[in-house]
Amino acid sequence: MDASFLELTREERQRLLAQKRAILAARTRCKQLSGVEIIALLDGEEYPPLSRMYAAYCSYMCNDTVPTSRLPHSAPREQICAWVVATMGLQEGQEYFYLCGGGFWAHIRLTDLTLAVPALLGECVEGFLLAKVDLSRMLEVGFDSRDEEHYLIDIWNRTPPDHV
């Protein structure tokens, strides 16, 4: 064990270990994504414009917004994936920031939509959040209390772009 680690206070060691666990969890989640090339893994604090955009998006979503699109939970998985691709305008070769958890984002490239969308959705269609790399919009699919019978897609265009 590194001697400098032992010189830290208990709280500092716990914070460092928690951060390392979060990094490991984000890397593990990214490795599970078929059809996606991981370009970089970023701590949310490493790229302030993305952090500010995410905070603005969260603030916007707290206002009981109307979703861009809805699809019944009873829809077959293939229909859900096609709906996500069409509604979000996803294309192979596009790059995004993907919120992979624990305050970490992955800079990704979609290489195969037939694999990427199901992988991003998760086995139980948990959903996912993407930010365009030019920080012009956020795209989210999932479900929440606004409508418990449908999957929801929210597309938030950052306007004006210089406020983030």
* Beta strands 137-142 and 128-132, pairing class: antiparallel
The 10s digit of each residue's pLDDT in 93-122 is 999 999 987 788 999 999 999 999 999 998
What pLDDT, on a 0 to 100 scale, did the predictor assign at position 28? 72
- Considering its fold, how many domains does the chain have in total? 1
Lowest mean pLDDT among 17-26, 38-47, 77-86, 117-126: 17-26
CA distances from 138 to 96, 130, 132 (A): 9, 6, 6
Geometric angle at alpha carbon 123, from 63 and 149, rounded to 5°: 40
Given pLDDT bands bounded at 50, 70 and 90, which one contains residue 140?
very high
Host domain of residue 50: 3-163
Contact assessment for residue 107 and residue 133, using Cβ atoms and an 8 Å cutoff? yes
Longest dimension (CA), the chain: 56
The mean pLDDT value of the chain amounts to 86
Residue 164 has pLDDT above 50, yes or no: no
Burial of 123 (0-12, 13-18, 19+ CB in 10 A): exposed
Residues of the chain above pLDDT 90, percent: 54
Q: In which band, very low, low, confident or very high, does the pLDDT at 26 lie, cut at 50, 70 and 90?
A: low
The region of weakest confidence among 6-10, 67-71, 81-85, 86-90 is: 6-10
Q: Regarding predicted confidence, which is higher, 24 or 149?
A: 149
Please state the pTM of the whole predicted model: 0.83
